[in-house]
Every structure is written in C-alpha cells, then in structure tokens.
Amino acid sequence: MKLMTMWKDALESLVSSPATEKYPFQRLDAPDQLRSQLHWNLEKCTGCALCAKDCPADAIEIIVLDKKAKRFVFRYHIDRCTFCGQCVESCRQGCLQMANDEWELAALSKQGFDVYYGDDADVQSVLVGTTPPELEAAAD
C-alpha cells in the first residue's frame, strides 16, 4: 500500500509544475507592506536622534556636524536592522520611510552594510574623519 502511494506521488510530481519559484530569474513583486531598506529625508530632520534612541538594534547614528545649519549625516547599519519599523513610528517629522522593494541586501564586503545619507560633502567628511572646512572656519 505504501509503495502504491509512493508511486502515485512520484507520478503526480512528474506531471505537475514545480512548486518552487525560479528566483533569481523570475522575480515576484514585493508586497506593498514589506519593510525593506530604510530611507532618510534630510530636509525635514531636526537632528533630535529619537530614531536612534528608539532603535532596538542600535542600527542608526545621527552624526551632527552643525545643528543650526541642519548639517546631519545619517549612518544606517543595515546589517543590524531588524526591519521592525520602530524608527519610522518614532520620527515625529516623518523623515523615515522603509522601501518595499529593496530587500536583496546581500553584499560581498562589510562596507556594503554601512549606508550613509546626507549631503555628499558632509558624508565624505564623516568618512575621512574630518570637519568640513567651512565649519572649521566658523569654529575659529
């Protein structure tokens, strides 16, 4: 009896289409509600750092270069992020959004897991560990 069932299953499998998807050759659209990579809007940010404080995974750093001039750099440790969405809820300015279609986040080097948002020159100065010249001059 068991042998018959086995043969029946084997024959059914031969004629039915595979249950698996042909990823990565075929990609299905991500559900609208999927939480994938976090994005930050500099324009609205006040630098309050509530998002970083509330993040349970310590995945956010707000680097303040000049609070008055709204010179912030947002460092996102995507490898620590659990995609819980708490930061999006916590930000009262609505600066944070989670994309629903950026979920293929594997990388070959660790550098790919540190994402920087902000003005290009400010990000560059954070990366090389210097203060932007105009801020240095203002501090003198």
Distance of CA 40 to the CA centre of its chain: 10
DSSP β-ladder status, 96-98 and 114-117: unpaired
Q: Is 130 in the site for ligand SF4 (CB under 6 A)?
A: no
* Comparison of 84 and 135: residue with beta carbon closer to ligand SF4: 84
Q: Residue 35 half-sphere exposure, CB side, CA atoms within 13 Å?
A: 13
Task: Report how far residue 44's alpha carbon sits from residue 70's, in angstroms, rounded to the nearest whole number.
Answer: 9
Distance of CA 70 to the CA centre of its chain: 22
Q: Is 73 in the site for ligand SF4 (CB under 6 A)?
A: no
DSSP β-ladder status, 38-40 and 114-117: unpaired
The pattern of x and - marking residues 86 through 125 that bind ligand SF4 according to CB under 6 A reads xx--xx-x-xx-----------------------------
Backbone angles phi, psi at 3, to 5 degrees: -65, -40
Q: Is 49 in the site for ligand SF4 (CB under 6 A)?
A: yes
Select from 34, 39, 50, 97 the one that contacts ligand SF4 (CB under 6 A). Answer: 50
Select from 34, 48, 63, 123 the one that contacts ligand SF4 (CB under 6 A). Answer: 48
* Comparison of 89 and 134: residue with beta carbon closer to ligand SF4: 89
Which residues of the shown chain bind ligand SF4 in the complex (CB under 6 A)?
A: 38, 40, 45-51, 55, 57, 59-60, 62, 81-87, 90-91, 93, 95-96
